[in-house]
Every structure is written in structure tokens, then in C-alpha cells.
Structure 1
Amino acid sequence: MKEVLGLDELDIKLLELLQMNSRVTISELSKQLVLSRPSVSERLQRLQERGIIEEFTARVSLPAVGLDILLFIQVSELKRTPHEFEEIMKNENAVIECHRVTGTTNYVLKAAVSNMSSMSLLIDRLIPYGSLTTSIVLSSPIPYRVIQPEKGNAAAENVKS
């Protein structure tokens, strides 16, 4: 059986099933993977211990909770240290992701707000920290994708005997 980064095909399938429905039962996983419940539980525990599964969570519909406008905000010409900026962003509830990136942009923020007025207030709060370029998401043709290890990477693959 082929392994990718220490994950065999059953581990990869288990990760896929959990990402599609993190509330799936061990019994259902056992049926779908054709493994005993103890084997599924052991694999699940091992994936958590290795840090491959970071946490279990729910995906929440932004429009369903009144956050109808999704934004990507690029911050460049940062006027604070990266550490200071990141600490400030941790307290900015509208920011749902913050990524430090390479290139002329220092950070890319993903934010969600309820309306244009809220968006304007968010931008006003961010202006003191750098130059902003804001994009409003019109549609998301791929809103979420199941994460799997990259296949075909010769350096990452090992054939297990």
C-alpha cells in the first residue's frame, strides 16, 4: 500500500469523510472504510496526536448569520510591527482570517460584514495600519474543498512493503 507523508489510503479516506461531515459516527466510518470500530478509533486518535487533525468544528453560513458581504483586504506599507498588527487583528471580530504573505502586500485579510456601512467602518478602523486594497466577493465557485495530501510528489511519497 502506498503512503503519502505517512498517511495510507485508509487514513486519507478517513480524513475526507470527516471533512465532509465531522459529526459522522465511528460506526458509520467503520462501515464506509470497512474497518472495525476500534481500528477507526485508533486511526482517528493517531491522526489527532500527529496534528493532522487539528480540531473538529462546524462551517457556518455567513449569510445565514447576517454577514452578507465577504471581503478580502490586502494590507501593504504596514505602519506597525507584524506582531502588533496580528494582535490587533485577533480582536477585530469582522476579520475571520489573517494571512501574512510575501510580495508587496504584507497581509491578506478575509472579513465578513453585514452591510456596506459595516464595511466602511471596518475599513476606517484598518486605515491607520497601512495601505488597503479591498475586494468584495461576488461569488465563490469553490467555497470549500476537502484537503488531501498532494499526490505525485516523489519527495513526499514512500512505498511501504
Structure 2
Amino acid sequence: MDHFDRKICEILQTDARRSSTDVAAQVGLSVSATNDRIRRLQKQGIITGWQARLAPAPFAAATCAFVLLDLRYEGEAEAIAALSAHDAVQELHHISGPHSYLMKLRLADTAALQRFLSEVVKPLPAVTRTESIIALDTAKETLAIAVPTEEQEDG
């Protein structure tokens, strides 16, 4: 990736609805060269998708909770597949430390969290323990990746 690709990534990550003309003008390339680079970035798997970010509250997802999961090795793959299939599960990370996984959920309220834990999580045979953390407020939430400059990558 050169500095043009990095700049394109920065621009599109901030606002994917930008027109090709606007992106091209900002990076100093022609529209066709910019479009070629965007297609290549997609083909290489650097740009992985295009999506709108929605406010959670209008969709009964105002409560953000993090659940630390302890799992037995036997049945772990099935548990992860089952949890990953639920829309309320936004993230599921295999982590180091005393717990096996960290799961981020978006649900309507704490009652919905309780139901999800009781009906979905705890019945899974591999689950041995859960610990829930409810976010009271969100100061920052982003999917943006810091795009390093060429100098930062080289040095």
C-alpha cells in the first residue's frame, strides 16, 4: 500500500458515501485511477465491506453489555458457532487471561440481557461461567482502524 491507498482508506473509513470524484480530488488522482485502487483494495481484502452505522436505541438495542465467558474445550466450537449466530452478539473475541472469551452484546435492556444469558448462553454445555459488565454510557465506539503512514510502518 502506498500513500494514495492509505489516504483512500482514511477517507472511506470516515465517510464511505463520499463520491469517487471527491475522493479522487482529495488524494490527487484521477477518478478512474481512484476507482481502480478502491476495487483493488476490496479484492485484496483491505476494504472488507460498506455499511451504515445505526443508532442502537431505535432498534431495541440501547443496552451495551460485555460478557466474559469461561468455556470447556469440549463443546467450545459448537458454543462459539451458536453464540455467533445471534444478532445481539456484536463481537466475540477469544482472549488471554482468566477467561476464555469476551462477548459484546446490544440488547433492549437488562431484562433482555438476563433472558439472553438464561436462554441462550447458560444452556450451552461448554459454558462454565459468565461475568457480565453493563456499559452505563459510551464515550467512544468505533470500527475505525488507525491507518499508519509509510514511515510508521517502516520504522
Structure 1 partner of 2:142: 144
| Cα separation, 2, equivalents of 1:51 and 1:94 | 26
**Counterpart check, 1:43 vs 2:37:** yes
Structure 2: distance between partners of 1:87 and 1:8? 37
Unaligned stretches of 5+ in structure 2?
Answer: none
Moved more, 123-132 or 10-19: 123-132
TM-score normalised to structure 1 length = 0.83
Structure 1 stretches of 4+ with a deviation exceeding 6 A read none
- Residues 152, 14 of structure 1: CA spacing in aligned structure 2 closer, same or farther, 3 A cutoff? closer
How far apart are residue 150 of structure 1 and its match?
4.4
**Per-residue CA distance 1:27-81 (angstroms, 9 max, x = gap):** 1111211210011011111111211111111211111322110000000143752
2:13 pairs with one of 15, 19, 31: 19
Question: Using the alignment, how far apart are the partners of 1:135 and 1:152 within structure 2?
Answer: 38
Distance 1:50 1:23, change over 3 A: same
Aligned residue for 2:131, secondary structure, equals: strand
Query: Identity percentage over the alignment?
Result: 21
Higher RCO (CA 8 Å, separation ≥ 6 residues): 1
CA distance in 1, matches of 2:66, 2:141: 14
Rounded Cα–Cα distance in structure 2 between residues aligned with 1:132 and 1:64: 28
Three-state SS of the structure 2 residue aligned to 1:99 is strand
User: Among residues 37, 58, 62, which one is paired with 2:56 in the alignment?
Assistant: 62
Matched residues, number: 151
Mean Cα displacement is larger for which, 111-120 or 91-100?
91-100
TM-score, normalization: structure 2? Answer: 0.86
- What is aligned with 1:127? 122
Q: 2:122 is matched by which residue type in structure 1?
A: I
Tell me which amino acid in the other structure corresponds to 1:27. Answer: T
* Paired amino acid for 2:133: S
Q: Where do 5+ consecutive residues of structure 1 fail to align?
A: 1-6
